Structure 1
Amino acid sequence: MSFAADCALQDFIWIPRLVQAVLSALADIKLYSLVRHLENAETAKWVYLCQLCSWFTWYCCTRTLTNTMETVLTIFALFYYPMEGSKTRSSCKYLTFVALAFIIRPTAVIPWIPLVLRHFWQEQKKVDLVLYSCIPVGLVTLGISLIIDRVFFGEWILVQLKFLKFNVLQNLGTFYGSHPWHWYLTQGLPVILGTHLPFFIHGCIQAPKRYRILLMVVVWTVLVYR
């Protein structure tokens, strides 16, 4: 009995980590494929190498954190996002991954606000985008979230609304710690990027016009979290 209990405990600890590691690996492959479609195989190899050499990726990719899953889903969404030059664009697919990321961690919507607005602005069939992509995807994912939370909490509850109330309206998240306004610029990004920081700065300066939206997303996200 004791041996079986120990095995069950180890499975409970390690299986979620293994699943998360596999999902993170798939996200790395998607990132490589995305850059290969947007640029070429040579550029994709360098991006893939940078991803594999990132200490922060190594540190987080196997940890069962909502941040990690948010990152995985964001990469999958970017793969299908209708960026100029993309050969894998799909409104329903990328919006599905964005919606799933939002359900898991509502703050995932922050970096996607400028991207979705850009898509809406450039989309010629705006009504079709809203009626046949945004609304169906939103209703299905929100419905699934409500059902899952109903099963586990025993009552109908909108967790995302609770999240908004706790972290934004009541600002109770500061109980667990807060940073000065400049933290993301002076400590957050430099530490996470590590030795990639010079290449990141160079890329920001030399980035083609069609990728400026991604730089805007980074700046927007940092300003919001500030």
Structure 2
Amino acid sequence: MDKLWPSRGAVAGVIIYRVVNACVLQTYFVPDEYWQSLEVAHRLVFGFGHLTWEWKEGIRGYAHPLLFALVYWLLKLFGLDSSFALGFCPRLVMGLFAALSDLCVYRLTAGYLESPSAATWAMLCSLTSWFSFYCMPRTLANSLEAALITVTLSIWFTSSSLRSSKCVWVCFSIGALSVLIRPTSAVVWLVVFGTHLVAATNKLDFILLHVLPVAVIAAFVSVALDSYFYGKFVVALWNFFKFNVLYDLGSLFGTHPWHWYLSQGIPVVFGTHLPLCLLGVVNVPSRRLLLFVVMCCYVVIHSLLSHKEFRFMVPLLPLAAVYAGHFCSTISGKWRTTVLVSLIVFNTPVAVYTSLIHQRGTLSVMRYLDGEAQEGRVESVLFLMPCHSTPLYSHFHHNISLRHLDCSPSLDVDYVGEDDRFYGDPVNWLNESYSHEKELPSHIVIYDLLEKELELLFGYKKYSKVEVFFHTHFHEKRIGQTVIVYRRWSH
């Protein structure tokens, strides 16, 4: 391997590590991991499934779920489309993208900082990050966005002929793909490519020969792709921008103060790597601060939006690893060992707990229901849980009715969603929704928080508790510690 890549043994080790990482993930993180990717892909390939309101309003683009649709199509082609394979294979693909991101962190650091030692440490920092372990192999647009950004930057800052058309076209193309996957990555490219444009001797050629052609092609592909799958003319990127930026309607899903990323988001996501990153920023030569500027701009833009989530900061983890690696390479051997041991000791328990234990019940219950369906014991399922608490057909590959509470947003101030109506009076909602016994589902899934309130009604409706799955040690207002399955006696 050349000096911009680790040894072949290290490459193999990273790939194996991320494959294992993908295999051991047993927990649920956020709905988008399934509902904006795998469920869409399942409907595209197999013709049945549920689409959330975003897909009816044309806010989401199809570039991201098409990756998993390809995986599903191959599984279908070879007759391997079991529920297990549909849930596992996309995550395995994302594990490989995570490995590529780790390796490109090494390449980026080696080229950008011109230090193989810093590159080795940067890759170690990437591999030891608890949030990277927890999030990168998931089928989230944020994880794929992070990988594509890292790949692009590793090419951009290590090419021996940065001004060559080939390098620029490759970087612009991958960068454009990252924007199609998640438009927020445009912030990164405005800073990186904008800085290059300012320094370019022939700005007009750079714009006409590179920026404009790639932008036009990407826009055409985006519109053509989305319009084809939506069955009508749709500009999903523009709709996404209007909804989240111009109208800031993401606030319908929760709001946070402007400083949330600084006070909570980044400290949690970066964890023990945060002080190493900041120390690296302080010690790095001033000409190597562009990636830090990128990070700052990314945080500022996201801070201006009312709705904030931890996962939105995932693309910054590889960049933080670059500076953390630089700092680790500047300290003495004894302190390096101390830092490495500390990273492993503090990150491993958190990574293991969040990836194998915390919020695992909503995946366990889908495996159970799938087994029940294979035995012919499932006619329909009702999920009386907060919206999108479980995946659906991507983990339950049977064309059987799976009903969940609807929580589509509305601008009507007097609108009360189905989920709020249910939690306002669960017994009355069930009696009104299922007034005839023949309409009752064969299985009902709830959190333990509702058990006492509903157990009399379940007994009257001839349901009995059949399974209980541990979910979390930290219950919330509507999320309990266990997931419970009830089944009708007549089934």
Q: What is the TM-score when the length of structure 1 is the normalising length? A: 0.90
SS in 2 for 1:135: helix
Q: Which structure dedicates a bigger proportion of its chain to strand?
A: 2
* Whole-Å separation in 1 of the counterparts to 2:115 and 2:140: 32
Note if 1:174 corresponds to 2:247.
no
Contact 1:30 1:75 (C-alpha < 8 Å) held by counterparts: yes
* Whole-Å separation in 2 of the counterparts to 1:119 and 1:185: 28
SS in 2 for 1:97: helix
Match of 1:87 in 2: 160
* Whole-Å separation in 2 of the counterparts to 1:80 and 1:9: 38
- The worse-fitting range, judged by mean Cα deviation, of 193-202 and 141-150 is 141-150
Contact 2:105 2:123 (C-alpha < 8 Å) held by counterparts: yes
Query: In structure 2, which of residues 153, 158, 177 is the aligned counterpart of residue 100 of structure 1?
Result: 177
Contact 1:77 1:97 (C-alpha < 8 Å) held by counterparts: yes
* Whole-Å separation in 1 of the counterparts to 2:234 and 2:289: 39
Match of 1:140 in 2: 217
What per-residue deviation string (whole Å, max 9, x for no partner) do you get for residues 27-79 of structure 1?
21122122222322211110000000011111111111111111011001111
* Whole-Å separation in 1 of the counterparts to 2:160 and 2:91: 32
SS in 2 for 1:148: helix
Query: In structure 2, which of residues 74, 87, 92 is the aligned counterpart of residue 18 of structure 1?
Result: 92
Query: In structure 1, which of residues 216, 222, 225 is the aligned counterpart of residue 299 of structure 2?
Result: 222
Contact 2:227 2:235 (C-alpha < 8 Å) held by counterparts: no
Match of 1:67 in 2: 142
* Whole-Å separation in 2 of the counterparts to 1:121 and 1:146: 30
Match of 2:270 in 1: 193
Query: In structure 2, which of residues 239, 242, 258 is the aligned counterpart of residue 165 of structure 1?
Result: 242
Structure 1 residue identity aligned to 2:186: V
Contact 2:179 2:186 (C-alpha < 8 Å) held by counterparts: yes
Note if 1:52 corresponds to 2:124.
no
Superposed displacement of residue 88, structure 1: 6.6
Superposed displacement of residue 183, structure 1: 0.9
* Whole-Å separation in 1 of the counterparts to 2:228 and 2:108: 37
Match of 2:116 in 1: 41
Superposed displacement of residue 97, structure 1: 1.6
Q: Which structure dedicates a bigger proportion of its chain to helix?
A: 1
Contact 1:79 1:94 (C-alpha < 8 Å) held by counterparts: no
Q: Quick one: structure 1 residues 93 and 36, their matched pair in 2 at CA, closer, same or farther if it must change by over 3 Å?
A: same
Superposed displacement of residue 87, structure 1: 3.2
Match of 1:150 in 2: 227
Query: In structure 1, which of residues 194, 206, 210 is the aligned counterpart of residue 283 of structure 2?
Result: 206
* Whole-Å separation in 2 of the counterparts to 1:162 and 1:214: 29
Superposed displacement of residue 209, structure 1: 1.4
Note if 1:30 corresponds to 2:30.
no
Superposed displacement of residue 176, structure 1: 1.1
Superposed displacement of residue 102, structure 1: 1.0
How many residue pairs get aligned? The number is 221
Structure 1 residue identity aligned to 2:142: N
Q: Quick one: structure 1 residues 88 and 186, their matched pair in 2 at CA, closer, same or farther if it must change by over 3 Å?
A: farther
* Whole-Å separation in 2 of the counterparts to 1:16 and 1:142: 27
Q: Quick one: structure 1 residues 153 and 35, their matched pair in 2 at CA, closer, same or farther if it must change by over 3 Å?
A: same
Q: Which runs of 5+ in 2 are unaligned?
A: 1-75, 304-491
Contact 1:28 1:51 (C-alpha < 8 Å) held by counterparts: yes
What per-residue deviation string (whole Å, max 9, x for no partner) do you get for residues 84-128 of structure 1?
x75373211211122111111111112322222111001112122
Match of 2:449 in 1: none
* Whole-Å separation in 1 of the counterparts to 2:119 and 2:159: 14
RMSD, aligned CA: 1.9
Please identify the structure whose Cα radius of gyration is greater: 2
Structure 1 residue identity aligned to 2:85: D
Superposed displacement of residue 7, structure 1: 4.7
Contact 1:79 1:88 (C-alpha < 8 Å) held by counterparts: no
* Whole-Å separation in 1 of the counterparts to 2:253 and 2:107: 38
* Whole-Å separation in 2 of the counterparts to 1:130 and 1:80: 20
Structure 1 residue identity aligned to 2:102: D
What per-residue deviation string (whole Å, max 9, x for no partner) do you get for residues 117-158 of structure 1?
111001112122111111221122222222221221011211
* Whole-Å separation in 2 of the counterparts to 1:77 and 1:7: 33
Structure 1 residue identity aligned to 2:100: L
Structure 2 residue identity aligned to 1:51: S
Q: What is the TM-score when the length of structure 2 is the normalising length? A: 0.43
Structure 2 residue identity aligned to 1:92: W
